[in-house]
Amino acid sequence: MKACIDIGGTKVAVSLNTGAGLELLGKRSEPTIKTGSNDAVARQVIRMVDEACAEAGIPADKVQRAGVSSAGPFVLRAGMVELSTPNICGGMAGPARGLPNDWLTAPIEAPLRRRFAEVRVENDAVAALEAERRWGALQGYEHCAYVTWSTGVGMGLCVAGRVLRGKNGNAGHGGHMFVSDNDEALCGCGNIGDLEALVAGNAVARRFGSDAAALLQHAKAGDAAAAQTVDELCRVMGRALYNITALLDLQRISLGGSVFLHNAGYLLPRLDAEVKAHLPALTEGCELVPAGLGDKVGDYAALALLV
């Protein structure tokens, strides 16, 4: 039996898998706990796994493998992953950030290893990439990426069949790449001009006073000003996709995340045109496609870590 765990800045989701097929049992989600001691999220996860076991009628000690797909960044302490996620740990930005804790990190791997025999923690975009490579739109592709365009922007990268992890498991934090010195684009990480600070769902709301869903709806309905704003978002996001194509010589990029998936038909040709407008020697033969697992990518990301 496997525990599939998804940790985000807003919610924690847990489900179980018997090891046969893709069925997820006892699925549940809760707001991420951000009060108490800094192992509160790990204790929440373990309690939720036990509750899922009780609901599914499975003895809790039968669940000994845990896959964790989590928002990053990570830091390692004694080789174990701890979260250093700005939306969870309030101790980095200080009280002005408004989180109800002073955690510098939230230990995840060490407490879970006291409960489970096997634990694998990966960045959520890396885990989603693995799910897309196994069951989705990236099956059979050796040079590929998964890019999520959602509240934030994240990337999982794969070259020559090897998923890139990096020294602390933080490879693919492409949302924090510099794309513009536009100084209205203050990123949650403190940088100015990061990709995420310009195009992510939370940036759209902050920059244009309208959430991304409403903006896209107006653009699709023919509102010229909204369409122009979306074109500019696609120019920046498309240029970021070009950047990773130029760096990694990719064959295929799978796109997910709520901003993209709810508007794939409108956004995909615009992103594709931007990528293809640059240096054909690098961009020809690189396809952009919607995530094959659609909005289920997140559900299967943690499971993909245990296959």
| Number of residues in contact with Zn ion under rule CB under 5 A | 5
Q: Interface with Zn ion includes 198 (CB under 5 A)?
A: no
Instruction: Please identify, using beta-carbon distances, which residue of 194 and 274 lies nearer to Zn ion.
Output: 194
Instruction: Please identify, using beta-carbon distances, which residue of 40 and 186 lies nearer to Zn ion.
Output: 186
List Cα–Cα distances, 260 to 30, 67, 255, 263, in angstroms: 24, 26, 7, 5
Q: Interface with Zn ion includes 217 (CB under 5 A)?
A: no
Name the closest residue to Zn ion (Cβ): 187
Instruction: Please identify, using beta-carbon distances, which residue of 86 and 298 lies nearer to Zn ion.
Output: 86
Instruction: Please identify, using beta-carbon distances, which residue of 2 and 176 lies nearer to Zn ion.
Output: 176
Q: Interface with Zn ion includes 202 (CB under 5 A)?
A: no
Instruction: Please identify, using beta-carbon distances, which residue of 188 and 298 lies nearer to Zn ion.
Output: 188
- Shortest separation between residue 223's beta carbon and Zn ion, angstroms: 30
Q: Interface with Zn ion includes 115 (CB under 5 A)?
A: no
| Inter-residue contact 192 to 186 (CB < 8 Å) | yes
- Shortest separation between residue 180's beta carbon and Zn ion, angstroms: 12
Instruction: Please identify, using beta-carbon distances, which residue of 126 and 199 lies nearer to Zn ion.
Output: 199
Q: Interface with Zn ion includes 83 (CB under 5 A)?
A: no
Candidate ranges 113-121, 174-182, 252-260, 288-296; the one touching Zn ion (CB under 5 A): 174-182
- Shortest separation between residue 8's beta carbon and Zn ion, angstroms: 17
- Shortest separation between residue 76's beta carbon and Zn ion, angstroms: 21
Q: Interface with Zn ion includes 170 (CB under 5 A)?
A: no
User: Contact letters (x/-) for Zn ion, 175-194, by CB under 5 A?
Assistant: -x----------x-x-x--x
The site for Zn ion (CB under 5 A) is made up of 176, 187, 189, 191, 194
